[in-house]
């Protein structure tokens, strides 16, 4: 069962699901309601599809959607069960909001072109699209299922926010070198470096060295960030370390700092 066909066949039910999640978020008065509802919608949509795929169900209705979301609510609304609202909001503040903060403090404030490499379900992408002046967003993930799911999330995003980014792409097929050659000024690598093979890593480091007019944000396991930082230092590539974040600025501000 192709997820694209499944989503089209059940569009009315998933409209109900989105409204249900939106109302739930408001009723428990969470911060960052808008990105939060897309977070829950993406996860829930994924869970519904996987369950229906396993059980051979191709058509669902509002009752089935309501039963699934009620039965598994602890997976969709953590502060109602095992995680406090404070803990959930802290997670937002310390992770996705940090990416937003880094980009907001760069020189790229308008006409932002983002590459989100290893985007997964595009929770962070939707938050950035809602908050920044982005003219192009390309999310890349090798999982075709994730790509189709993200396409559906983007459709909901455009419908409910009335925001239409000039160019949004979700990709799973473009070759590695072709992805990196795109005309992006903000490149995000979040928990994706661990999947690189050695030849990919070498080409990626070489690409960073040759970059101009870019902000590169890398987030990964502490040990992986250590390895990347050491590789960049050997090549005399300036970078900023912030815990599990590594920031490489290949912009005019970086050039000024280097001359000083």
**Domain residue ranges in the chain:** 3-88, 95-259
Q: How far apart are CA 256 and CA 220, in angstroms?
A: 28
Tokens 């189709």 map to which residue?
Answer: 148
Q: What is the pLDDT along the chain (260 residues), one digit of tens a residue?
A: 677 788 888 888 888 888 878 887 777 666 667 767 777 788 778 878 888 888 888 998 888 887 776 665 555 555 544 455 566 556 666 777 889 889 988 888 888 999 999 888 887 888 888 888 888 889 898 887 788 888 888 887 777 676 666 667 776 677 888 888 888 999 999 999 988 888 889 999 999 999 989 999 999 999 999 999 999 999 999 999 999 999 999 865 554 445 44
Q: Which residues pair with 116 in a beta bridge?
A: 139, 188
Helices within the chain (DSSP H only): 3-9, 11-27, 33-55, 62-71, 73-76, 85-94, 96-104, 123-131, 144-161, 176-180, 198-210, 222-234, 252-259
Q: Which residues pair with 167 in a beta bridge?
A: 136
Tokens 């309601």 map to which residue?
Answer: 33
Residue range 95-259, CATH number: 3.40.50.150
Q: Which residues pair with 188 in a beta bridge?
A: 116, 217
Q: How far apart are CA 72 and CA 79, in angstroms?
A: 13
Q: How far apart are CA 27 and CA 73, in angstroms?
A: 14
Taking a C-beta distance cutoff of 8 angstroms, is the pair 190, 103 a contact?
no
- The structure's pTM equals 0.78
Residue 105: helix, strand or coil by DSSP? coil
Instruction: Determine the pLDDT at residue 259.
Output: 45
Per-position b or e across 118-155, b if 16+ CB within 10 A of its CB: bbbbbbbbbbbbbebebebbbbbbeeebbbbbbbbbbe
Taking a C-beta distance cutoff of 8 angstroms, is the pair 157, 129 a contact?
yes
Instruction: Determine the pLDDT at residue 81.
Output: 47
Taking a C-beta distance cutoff of 8 angstroms, is the pair 61, 9 a contact?
no
DSSP state letter for 174 = S
Taking a C-beta distance cutoff of 8 angstroms, is the pair 115, 187 a contact?
yes
Task: Of 145, 86, 99, 87, give the one whose Cα is nearest residue 126.
Answer: 99
Task: Of 192, 116, 125, give the one whose Cα is nearest residue 154.
Answer: 125
Maximum separation of any 2 CA atoms in the chain, in Å = 65
Instruction: Determine the pLDDT at residue 156.
Output: 79
Q: How far apart are CA 136 and CA 13, in angstroms?
A: 30
């Amino acid at each position: 069962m192709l997820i694209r066909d499944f989503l089209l066949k059940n569009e009315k039910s998933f409209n109900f699901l989105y409204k249900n999640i939106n109302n739930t978020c408001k009723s428990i008065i969470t911060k960052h309601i808008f990105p939060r509802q897309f977070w829950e919608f993406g996860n829930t949509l994924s869970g519904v599809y996987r369950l229906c795929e396993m059980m051979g169900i191709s058509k669902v209705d509002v009752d089935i959607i309501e039963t699934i979301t009620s039965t598994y609510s602890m997976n969709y609304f953590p502060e109602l069960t095992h995680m406090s609202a404070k803990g959930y909001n802290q997670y937002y503040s310390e992770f996705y909001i940090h990416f937003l903060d880094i980009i907001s403090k760069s020189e790229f404030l308008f006409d932002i072109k983002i590459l989100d490499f290893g985007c997964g379900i595009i929770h962070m992408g939707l938050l950035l699209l809602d908050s920044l002046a982005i003219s192009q967003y390309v999310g890349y993930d090798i999982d075709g299922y994730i790509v189709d799911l993200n396409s559906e999330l983007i459709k909901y995003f455009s419908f409910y926010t009335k925001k239409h980014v000039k160019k949004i792409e979700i990709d799973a097929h473009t070759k590695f070198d072709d992805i990196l050659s795109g005309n992006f000024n903000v490149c995000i690598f979040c928990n994706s470096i661990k999947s690189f093979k050695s030849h990919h890593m070498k080409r990626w480091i070489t690409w960073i060295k040759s970059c101009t007019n870019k902000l590169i944000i890398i987030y990964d396991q502490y040990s992986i960030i250590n390895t990347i930082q050491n590789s960049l230092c050997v090549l005399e590539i300036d970078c900023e370390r912030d815990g599990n974040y590594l920031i490489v600025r290949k912009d005019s501000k970086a050039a000024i700092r280097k001359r000083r």
